[in-house]
Structure 1
């Protein structure tokens, strides 16, 4: 049996070498230590009771060394020859689909000339092209495409490192795509275009775009993008809110081209060809030839390539009449993909695809055998759903943090609905509509008739936020414990483990401990304050031992005079892109208190999204009437969600627990002006003997009033008022507050010139540390008994 599944064993050894190498390139000590552990584990099968043949272990160790060497060799060659920053003339060929979004488009350029000199080797650059007028935008849409050679001026820079904790590491992601620079082309008029060069990949990209455009003509707008992603891999066409719904409910595998899609495609093609009178052998051969074209056209995602390789092996087995073992197929697919690119191991889709496939091979047969009630098809579907859920759960919460416990039920009901009804009809509509839209009209309308109500139901379930929780990324030991439990479960299902009382106790206690540690933790006597970098705006998360408070959330930058053609599909919203991902990564599913200091859009412009997607138990506001549409929408949502709203007034005090006290310093008991900044909610937090002052957008007039009324005292941490503007942070204020640490929430190169030089100088003269989010990224303050510390995302000298 072991010899028959040697490819699977070799792939595991190869994986060990790749993982060790990925650690080694960052830390030689850690990498070598991990190598020793993996080699010892890799040699243990030789000493088992049923010994593994020595040839298997020897070849496996060679695979380990091959994987290690392959990764290190690839990493050493993955370097850039381009300057880190430059404004230069360039020439290159577009090597990706061109994705238009409002007043810009994005693509990858394979650059071969810079400043009129040939580069030692062509290099990929992630490029953004901006348009100032509609004429250049229209010309680019007609001209740019895969294979177009462009020449002009470009601004090169290093990819921007994450500026917030738990944020997506974009430079690392690009590094694994062999991209080391990003480029901006700010003047489309400076570019010159040459004709597109013909290539297979270019033809596949053009085919996908043409079919995606045909999809928008056939189906309703609400379903067209989803079907384009589902059938063609054009995920950029999917509505962002709908994609978020699918992601939250654990249905993204329905969208991504994966094993499910390839299996359905193989079965559909073979069945159709057989109906047309084609012999079985020729049907298998035609399907095998078509699959690579389909995967290439759909974008060649990691999960699709894995499914392609395994599908081709299955078709080859059917053609030759030799049954292939599923375990060897997954091992062979792994070795082929890793041989092509060792960076696949960092791809989340690759990891999930192989892990779920592995889990299906392990758990589906014994689970199906134990389900004896009901039709065989339903029993197998239940087994597949349970196996995929149990196996994918740890990676899901590790990477995405949000998990809906309704996901297994929704998958059980929705996946067959998509697979049996929607996908075949949609594919037929697209096939007929490719000949002429009128031919695909009827099946497309039938698809909309079934799909649209289902999508509305899914969005209602997601908005209800039932049985949905956020989890912090589990520790390595938790992951090891979980997979040990899976091994125990598999042993029981295959009757390798007898369930005596000790085994039963372990079988029950292990998942209880694992899941209990996710949901419950002993409260630490610590307060963590995170000043997030949301650009020009405020967003402050305060985590106390028992509660979570959010002060403001930032807002999208103003886009005055924006024309319809300039509008982006998914405009930047700091709450959606920064605040909520951070909260979820911290394992925070709801807020105990939302503080809206005042109605300026740079403080509450993104709060509507938060109220629609996260439970809030209470809101604290300044009580002024809404003046702008953003504020009116926030007030409306607070009312619709039935969130208790408290108007902040000077003198209010509440105690969370011994050692943690909140005080409201502003607005005054009697409001004499309706100027928002003067009536910002100003809070003082006393935590374990330390004092933190959150000044909102308070300016000099408000500062002077608080000084006259003797309401402020020296503090340890000051959130500087109004982003350090010239009209705030007066000398008298600084002299009284004397902060040891001052944090200025401000956007890089903002239009207002914040923070003002004089404000920074006044703070610096007191000898305290001044941190700016535009320079240092997010600042995190940790408060424990008798100790306060801080850290910033950036480790530059200016942030110490």
Structure 2
């Protein structure tokens, strides 16, 4: 169904993610190749039956709109369908100028469905098609393999700017993967699937086709796994300002110009320059604290001006029986921020305690970014949990430390103090939390994890704090934390509360919010503001709704 109608609802989310990672997800989006194959099959069958060409065209003009409804009016499908219908309706002299056809279909769709302009699939579809049409001289007088190579490169060049802007990542593996998968889909997988789709509607005898199709799918899945091995090399593109984006677009079209002229040296030189330009020019680091929007969980990121990073917790969902975690927190809330800021590695990750809403995304994130050092309270983990951490450590070359052995660490100008206010004999893992006290110049930050009132009392008994500038409120603003005496003692200027919108626990507590406001603290909550960033040099606060 994904191949025929672009409906990916029943496909496994991991399978879809893998296709996105290697840059072939577009192959299951209904596009020009689907329409071309459908038109070719109908045309050849009816021609063999001696149906006049006029009636063949009329048949296709009836079939294609029905097929567009079957795809639920997918923008990429409509682009191909309208273009195909224009070819069928207009005289040959008209479609000798394919750019005009593309322009007419673009204007038509933009008038009927103006919201399509903001659809990423729509943008990809037209930009890639534009680049291919502009490159027609390049595709003449070549053998099929050379043309396939050029088409793959053109698709990558055409999608380059859109990928950089929307996804902050360039899937370079796609160049190699498409050389294999485009022929597999075009000449084998999609035609076989289409034939199978029609046969199962008219006959119950299709065992041989079952067998053949399953073999092709097995080849498909095994091939995906081979290309996945290359995806550990990431190419993130940080957020581009207007000027850098304009320069990138100009360079992109210059690459196309030299490629069409077959000036390979200039093309390669410009590609290399573009790569270096995007990797080094727009990269500006700042001393910044970010409260990531991870729903009912905790995850905080500290960046230094030199590009070093410290993370406190990863967020995550509480495990539910028979419900597989799709890790949407990482995919849509953590990794997009990392990509925008070109963060490919984390120098230190502090996991305050092993509750899923603090550690749940860690195993998934290890596949996407590099964690150099992880700090835990090993006394709060079960043997099974420690074993899993050890396996991840060996697999991804992560150093794991117990916080009792690392009381203080320096991260450029940041002094990070790992405070032991744990209650060792408590059965409540919240009371086994690592409390993190960070000093940057004159800014004092205190991160409480899910520490309880009991931890707060122990903290005040053993430690003395100045006024806290930035306070991560304990346990998502629950009444089990933020004792009045504790709040009065640290006088927080800014209070950060990480909690899910309309969460089941009704957090943060109104009582805790009132207590902090009475203390004169500014409340910043992910449930209301989304992701929150604070520039630690200027104290400028920004919000970003995901």
One fold, TM greater than 0.5? yes
4+ residue segments displaced more than 6 Å: 628-632
Please point out which of 541, 549, 553 is paired with 2:301.
541
Aligned partner of residue 372 in structure 2, secondary structure: coil
Change (3 A) 1:347 1:441: same
Q: Is the CA contact 2:346–2:370 (under 8 Å) kept in the aligned structure 1?
A: yes
Partner of 2:470: 717
Q: CA deviation at 1:300?
A: 1.7
Partner of 2:130: 358
Q: Is the CA contact 1:599–1:631 (under 8 Å) kept in the aligned structure 2?
A: no
Q: Is the CA contact 1:531–1:539 (under 8 Å) kept in the aligned structure 2?
A: yes
Q: Is the CA contact 1:364–1:383 (under 8 Å) kept in the aligned structure 2?
A: no
Change (3 A) 1:271 1:468: farther
Q: Please state if 1:621 is matched with 2:382.
A: no
Change (3 A) 1:618 1:274: farther
What CA deviation, in whole Å up to 9, does each residue of 1:584-634 have, x standing for no partner? 333323333322110112212333322344332222111135359888756
Please point out which of 62, 65, 72 is paired with 1:292.
65
Q: Is the CA contact 2:22–2:231 (under 8 Å) kept in the aligned structure 1?
A: no
The within-5 A match list for 1:148-163 is: none
Please point out which of 485, 488, 511 is paired with 1:732.
485
Partner of 2:39: 266
Partner of 2:348: 593
Q: Is the CA contact 1:295–1:308 (under 8 Å) kept in the aligned structure 2?
A: yes
Q: Please state if 1:686 is matched with 2:458.
A: no
C-alpha distance in 1 between matches for 2:478 and 2:436: 19
Change (3 A) 1:644 1:521: farther
The within-5 A match list for 1:394-413 is: 394-413=161-180
What CA deviation, in whole Å up to 9, does each residue of 1:223-275 have, x standing for no partner? xxxxx111122122222121122222221220110111111222222233334
C-alpha distance in 2 between matches for 1:682 and 1:595: 10
Q: Is the CA contact 1:650–1:664 (under 8 Å) kept in the aligned structure 2?
A: no
Partner of 1:416: 183
Partner of 1:776: 529
Give the structure with the higher percent strand.
1
Change (3 A) 1:432 1:634: farther
Please point out which of 383, 405, 416 is paired with 1:662.
416
Change (3 A) 1:452 1:662: same
Q: Is the CA contact 1:556–1:573 (under 8 Å) kept in the aligned structure 2?
A: no
C-alpha distance in 2 between matches for 1:352 and 1:241: 23
C-alpha distance in 2 between matches for 1:248 and 1:779: 28
Please point out which of 461, 474, 477 is paired with 2:240.
474
Change (3 A) 1:467 1:773: closer
Partner of 1:248: 21
Partner of 2:101: 329
Partner of 1:205: none
Change (3 A) 1:550 1:273: farther
Q: CA deviation at 1:364?
A: 4.1
Aligned partner of residue 516 in structure 2, secondary structure: helix
Partner of 1:142: none
Q: Please state if 1:578 is matched with 2:333.
A: yes
C-alpha distance in 2 between matches for 1:386 and 1:402: 17
Partner of 2:218: 452
Partner of 1:185: none
Aligned partner of residue 235 in structure 2, secondary structure: strand
Q: Please state if 1:311 is matched with 2:84.
A: yes
C-alpha distance in 2 between matches for 1:262 and 1:751: 47
Q: In terms of mean alpha carbon deviation, does 610-619 or 592-601 score higher?
A: 610-619
The within-5 A match list for 1:77-88 is: none
Partner of 1:348: 120
C-alpha distance in 2 between matches for 1:339 and 1:489: 32
What CA deviation, in whole Å up to 9, does each residue of 1:490-541 have, x standing for no partner? 554566x9x8xxx988x77754443223222587563211112322211112
Partner of 1:790: 541
Partner of 2:6: 233
Q: Is the CA contact 2:3–2:193 (under 8 Å) kept in the aligned structure 1?
A: no
Runs of 5+ unmatched residues, structure 1: 1-227, 795-800
Q: In terms of mean alpha carbon deviation, does 751-760 or 296-305 score higher?
A: 751-760
Q: Is the CA contact 2:283–2:342 (under 8 Å) kept in the aligned structure 1?
A: no
Bigger relative contact order (CA 8 A; separation at least 6): 2
Partner of 2:151: 384
Aligned partner of residue 78 in structure 2, secondary structure: helix
Aligned partner of residue 371 in structure 2, secondary structure: coil
The within-5 A match list for 1:153-232 is: 228-232=1-5
C-alpha distance in 1 between matches for 2:314 and 2:83: 47
Q: CA deviation at 1:317?
A: 5.0
Q: CA deviation at 1:741?
A: 0.8
Change (3 A) 1:593 1:328: same
Q: Please state if 1:484 is matched with 2:244.
A: no
Matched length: 544
C-alpha distance in 2 between matches for 1:460 and 1:729: 51
C-alpha distance in 2 between matches for 1:662 and 1:522: 29
Runs of 5+ unmatched residues, structure 2: none
Q: Is the CA contact 2:470–2:495 (under 8 Å) kept in the aligned structure 1?
A: yes
Q: Is the CA contact 2:13–2:326 (under 8 Å) kept in the aligned structure 1?
A: no
C-alpha distance in 2 between matches for 1:758 and 1:345: 46
TM-score normalised by L of structure 2: 0.89
Aligned partner of residue 404 in structure 2, secondary structure: coil
